[in-house]
Amino acid sequence: MNIRNIAIIAHVDHGKTTLVDKILHATKVFRENQETGELIMDSNDLERERGITIFSKNVSVTYKDVKINVIDTPGHSDFGGEVERVLKMADGVLLLVDAFEGPMPQTRFVLQKALALGLHPIVVINKVDKPNCRPDEVHDAVFELFFNLDATEEQLDFPTIYGSSKNGWMNTSLTETDNILPLLDAILEHVPEPKVNAGHSQMQITSLDYSSFLGRIAVGKVARGSIKESQQIALMQADGSIKKMKIKELYVFEGMGKKKVQEVFAGDICAVVGLDDFNIGDTIADVENPEALPVISVDEPTMSMLFGINNSPFFGKEGKFVTSRHLRDRLMKETEKNLALRVEDSDSADSFLVYGRGILHLGILIETMRREGFELTVGQPQVLVKMVDGAKYEPYEVLVVDVPAEYSGKVIDLVTQRKGEMLVMETKGEMQHLEFDIPSRGLIGLRSNMLTNTAGEAVMAHRFSEYKPWKGNIPGRSNGVLMSKTTEKTTGYSIDKLQERGRFFVDPGEDVYAGQIIAEHIKPGDLVVNATEPKKLTNHRASGSDDASKAAPKILMSLEECMEYIQQDECIEVTPKSIRLRKNILNEEDRKRASKTVAVEA
């Protein structure tokens, strides 16, 4: 059968998953009238809640008798390594670009990877339904990006499709249609058929699927020959070792699911069940004539966090899995399928150093664990520094901010304070487009500050660029915090009295413990406060009146906001029901002593 393998790549939110949904609909993967709802492709709970794709996914459709394997990829920069790997299964890519935003940092990254693999992208200028969109300008900017990334003459001659995945149309011009068939036709016309090599079996594992029934499933494109059910194969690993094993079951992708087959031929994407201890990058090869494909490098982590057991006074109240044994086993299990994650023992038996690709990557793991019933404590995220020729180097990123012109001064101030340097400033529609070079450290906590300072109007994106010399001290959070003095229920009476001191993270009537962070101080410096005083009873009957109603509603921060908020001496208590901020050292006296020691050492 005739096959096309394409990956859909883009910056986060530019509309990849919406387009894949429309492709599924256009090719009638669903029965007529079948209820499907929106974004069926983002099938994981967290993906649905956040409206982002976390795992890349394969689907397969048939159009004009051609089988099109489509790979939807995540656009967030923490998952860039995954995109790079799955591109190995593709013979063509659709590069989606938002008709208003134009190319963004991740557009550059994914395009660079696709060009380097010799792929010929089809450019899709999406979201042309947006008011104030600038499809022609964006087309020029995309061309310029290809050019700057050293695209070949043929790559520069890319076909362009315009449309709105949301409204379900695509066309070779800006003229609106009522379907996406022009895009499917462009795929048949411009994406080459997979190169099919005859010979002994060869397939590189480029991605991983997981099923609670079948365990780990190896996914990749058959590069040569074919792979058969029950075949004896040689699994060739990065360290040079070769293991003999048998393939249990074979699947190809069909619609949104998989179809069991006896044999998969070169050029098709297949899923293999029954391989033990395989890694991404391993080659499945013929037992008699094993030949490995070049090793795939897995991305290095750029950030670490200390994961520990929950040792707050509220330990064990809300979760099922609370011991260091539980924590260790769970983290180790995660490394089997979460490729960019690394776990190391720390000096304490109760905590582990977890290395990942960024706040979102680690945040998703923590969120998943709390939903499974874990309680844990996580510390401030640290960027990974490297020593190069005896000098300290740290990761830098390109930061792009689009903001209404009136706020651009504030944004520049904010980024400069954090050691960012401006590279580009230009007008984009009614927005100012700013680009900076900034140490990754400077980005931690920047988002919430940026939003408060721009009335929520700033759109920011960043992407790792390179390791460069350490940029010196970057100021942390400027405000101090208020900590609870007591372990009790907060009262409306106390919180009301403290309203001028800080903005609260807890409501009246919530259980708090000594050393828990319950509010942001309006000034620098930390303060221990009593938020649990009952109202003094007087002879008058007014005592029962409700002070709670006077307190401003508490500030709710997401897990990732908390991760960006805490400082070195603070941590986050995570349980299935709560996220609490606290000091590492809960006891006031001990904390004072420890901070004096630190001051002497500094």
Ligand X SMILES: Nc1nc2c(ncn2[C@@H]2O[C@H](COP(=O)(O)OP(=O)(O)OP(=O)(O)O)[C@@H](O)[C@H]2O)c(=O)[nH]1
226 binds ligand X per the rule CB under 6 A: no
Shortest distance (Å) from residue 126 CB to ligand X: 5
Choose one: 68-76, 114-122, 508-516, 542-550; the region binding ligand X (CB under 6 A).
Answer: 68-76
Are 361 and 340 a contacting pair, CB within 8 Å?
yes
Shortest distance (Å) from residue 33 CB to ligand X: 23
Are 163 and 169 a contacting pair, CB within 8 Å?
yes
Cross-strand bridge partners of residue 439: 396
Query: Which of residues 126, 380, 408, 454 is near ligand X by CB under 6 A?
Result: 126
Q: Which does 165 bind (CB under 5 to 8 A by kind): Mg ion, ligand X, none?
A: ligand X
Query: If we measure between CA atoms, which residue out of 346, 360, 597, 602 comes closest to residue 473?
Result: 602
- What 3-state DSSP class applies to 117? coil
By the 10 Å C-beta count (0-12 exposed, 13-18 middle, 19+ buried), 223 is classed as: buried
Minimum CB distance to ligand X smaller for 13 or for 367: 13
Angle, helices 446-453 vs 408-417, to 10°: value is 150
Q: Distance of CA 34 to CAs 18, 30, 59, 169, Å? A: 18, 6, 18, 21
51 binds ligand X per the rule CB under 6 A: yes
Residues 80-119: x where in contact with ligand X by CB under 6 A, - otherwise, as a string:
----------------------------------------
Q: How far is residue 298's CA from residue 310's CA, in Å, rounded to a whole number? A: 31
Q: How far is residue 394's CA from residue 140's CA, in Å, rounded to a whole number? A: 34
Q: How far is residue 380's CA from residue 328's CA, in Å, rounded to a whole number? A: 19
520 binds ligand X per the rule CB under 6 A: no
Rg (CA), the chain: 27
Of residues 142 through 181, those in contact with ligand X by CB under 6 A are: 164-166
226 binds Mg ion per the rule CB under 5 A: no
338 binds ligand X per the rule CB under 6 A: no
Are 496 and 550 a contacting pair, CB within 8 Å?
yes
Task: Please give the backbone phi and psi of residue 126, each rounded to the nearest 5 degrees, phi first.
Answer: -100, 170
In 3-state terms the chain splits into helix, strand, coil percentages (rounded to 5) of 25, 35, 40
462 binds ligand X per the rule CB under 6 A: no
Q: Where are the beta strands (DSSP E) in 28-121?
A: 57-63, 66-72, 92-98
Alpha helices in 444-489 (DSSP H): 446-453
Q: How many CB atoms lie within 10 A of CB 288?
A: 8
Shortest distance (Å) from residue 251 CB to ligand X: 24
The conformation of residue 323, written as its DSSP 8-state character, comes to S
52 binds ligand X per the rule CB under 6 A: yes
The first and second tokens of residue 50, run together, are 């956040």
Helix (H) or strand (E) holding 590: helix 588-601
Shortest distance (Å) from residue 280 CB to ligand X: 21
Choose one: 121-129, 289-297, 504-512, 561-569; the region binding ligand X (CB under 6 A).
Answer: 121-129
Minimum CB distance to ligand X smaller for 43 or for 568: 43
Q: Which amino acid would we find at residue 248?
A: K
160 binds Mg ion per the rule CB under 5 A: no
The conformation of residue 379, written as its DSSP 8-state character, comes to E
Q: What angle do CA 347, 367, 326 make, to 5 degrees?
A: 45
Minimum CB distance to Mg ion smaller for 71 or for 247: 71
Strand 481-484 to 527-529 pairing: parallel
Q: Which residues have a Cβ under 8 Å from the Cβ of 257 and sit 6 or more positions away?
A: none
Q: Which does 361 bind (CB under 5 to 8 A by kind): ligand X, Mg ion, none?
A: none
Q: Which does 126 bind (CB under 5 to 8 A by kind): Mg ion, ligand X, none?
A: ligand X
Choose one: 14-22, 121-129, 297-305, 561-569; the region binding Mg ion (CB under 5 A).
Answer: 14-22
Minimum CB distance to Mg ion smaller for 11 or for 16: 16
Residues 41-80: x where in contact with Mg ion by CB under 5 A, - otherwise, as a string:
------------x---------------------------
Q: Which residues have a Cβ under 8 Å from the Cβ of 430 and sit 6 or more positions away?
A: 132, 404, 405
Minimum CB distance to Mg ion smaller for 53 or for 202: 53
Q: What angle do CA 105, 109, 111 make, to 5 degrees?
A: 115
Minimum CB distance to Mg ion smaller for 224 or for 463: 463
Minimum CB distance to ligand X smaller for 10 or for 89: 10
16 binds ligand X per the rule CB under 6 A: yes
14 binds Mg ion per the rule CB under 5 A: no
Q: Which does 130 bind (CB under 5 to 8 A by kind): Mg ion, ligand X, none?
A: ligand X
9 binds ligand X per the rule CB under 6 A: no
Minimum CB distance to ligand X smaller for 79 or for 565: 79
Q: Which does 190 bind (CB under 5 to 8 A by kind): Mg ion, ligand X, none?
A: none
16 binds Mg ion per the rule CB under 5 A: yes
Query: Which of residues 4, 6, 9, 15 is near ligand X by CB under 6 A?
Result: 15
Minimum CB distance to Mg ion smaller for 45 or for 590: 45
Shortest distance (Å) from residue 17 CB to Mg ion: 3
Shortest distance (Å) from residue 408 CB to Mg ion: 30
Alpha helices in 62-134 (DSSP H): 80-86, 105-116
17 binds ligand X per the rule CB under 6 A: yes
Are 209 and 219 a contacting pair, CB within 8 Å?
yes
Query: If we measure between CA atoms, which residue out of 34, 38, 33, 36 comes closest to residue 18?
Result: 38
Shortest distance (Å) from residue 429 CB to ligand X: 15
53 binds ligand X per the rule CB under 6 A: yes
Q: How far is residue 90's CA from residue 242's CA, in Å, rounded to a whole number? A: 26
User: How many chain residues touch ligand X (CB under 6 A)?
Assistant: 21
Minimum CB distance to ligand X smaller for 180 or for 305: 180
Minimum CB distance to ligand X smaller for 8 or for 514: 8
Shortest distance (Å) from residue 164 CB to ligand X: 4
Residue showing the smallest CB distance to ligand X in the complex: 75
Query: Which of residues 108, 112, 129, 416 is near ligand X by CB under 6 A?
Result: 129
18 binds ligand X per the rule CB under 6 A: yes
Are 137 and 150 a contacting pair, CB within 8 Å?
no
Minimum CB distance to ligand X smaller for 101 or for 209: 101
Minimum CB distance to ligand X smaller for 52 or for 145: 52
Angle, helices 181-190 vs 16-26, to 10°: value is 100
Q: How far is residue 519's CA from residue 581's CA, in Å, rounded to a whole number? A: 9
- List of residues contacting ligand X (CB under 6 A): 10, 12-18, 51-53, 74-76, 126-127, 129-130, 164-166
- List of residues contacting Mg ion (CB under 5 A): 16-17, 53
